[in-house]
Amino acid sequence: MERRGRMAKTPTSQTHQSPVSKRERRPSMFEKESYAQILRERLRESFHDVQYVEPPFDDSIADLGKEWKSALAKLKFANSYRMEPLKKFQAHSVETKIQQILKDSLKDVKYDDKAFSHLSLELADRILAAVKEFAYHRYKFIIKVLFIQKTGQAINIASRWIWDVAWDSWVEAKHETESYLALVLVFALYCE
């Protein structure tokens, strides 16, 4: 009779042991040679900022849009880990510039609701270009231009934003005549 136990032996012909493969040890960053190797690997894998890409001028205009769309989808930028702006938004200097633009643009303009819809877009573009000349890096700007006819009414204007008190800011500028009031609001939002 055969005896069954917990530790039944298997025949030696069926056992096959594979040689234990050693995994390669990762280099430590505290060793000089390994640190240089780690840096080389990271630099090889990193992406760099692209400042300007020259468009291909030999293709047709229809194909150009498709190429640019696919090229822009592949762009990746390296993290800079910057949590604060290089230059903080200066509200006073921007306000004086906007006030000057309003004064120059609206000095001889009378109220016309049809003309003001087009004029508000032009003013917003001019103000955005003027604000961008100050070179506030990583700021996004929202510009609101309002023309209000004076007919004896009162008006309240409110805006709500998710706001970072330390870096975000806003500017208000207005130009007033006998028949209307032009109000410009510029919101400067810092994006990390």
Instruction: Name, of 31-35, 53-57, 150-154, the range with top average pLDDT.
Output: 150-154
Q: What local confidence, expressed as pLDDT, does residue 53 receive? A: 47
For 63-121, the pLDDT digits (tens) are 555 555 565 566 666 777 778 888 899 999 999 999 999 999 998 889 888 888 899 99
Kindly state the DSSP code that residue 134 receives in the 8-state scheme: T
Phi-psi region of 152 (alpha: psi -120 to 50; beta: other; left: phi over 0): left
Rounded CA-CA distance 23/136 in Å is 51
Give me the mean pLDDT over the 135-148 stretch: 92
pLDDT mean across residues, the chain: 78
Q: Please give the span between the terminal C-alpha atoms of the chain, in angstroms, as a whole number.
A: 80
Nearest residue to 190 via CA among 163, 159, 160: 163
Tokens of 135: 């070179």
Beta bridge partners of 142: 187
Q: What is the maximal distance between C-alpha atoms in the chain?
A: 118
Q: For the residues 155-168, what does the mean pLDDT come to? A: 87
Domains and CATH numbers, the chain: 34-73 (no CATH), 91-151+165-190 (3.30.1140.40)
Model pLDDT, residue 70: 63
Asked if pLDDT for residue 186 goes beyond 70, the answer is yes
Q: Can you give the pLDDT at residue 96?
A: 96
Q: Please report which confidence band the pLDDT of residue 21 belongs to, taking 50, 70 and 90 as the band edges.
A: low
pLDDT higher than threshold 90 for residue 125: yes
* CA–CA dist 135, 88 (Å, integer): 10
Q: Which residue has the higher pLDDT, 76 or 140?
A: 140
Within the chain, residue ranges assigned H as helices are: 32-45, 61-73, 91-105, 113-132
Confidence at residue 77, expressed as pLDDT on a 0 to 100 scale:
67
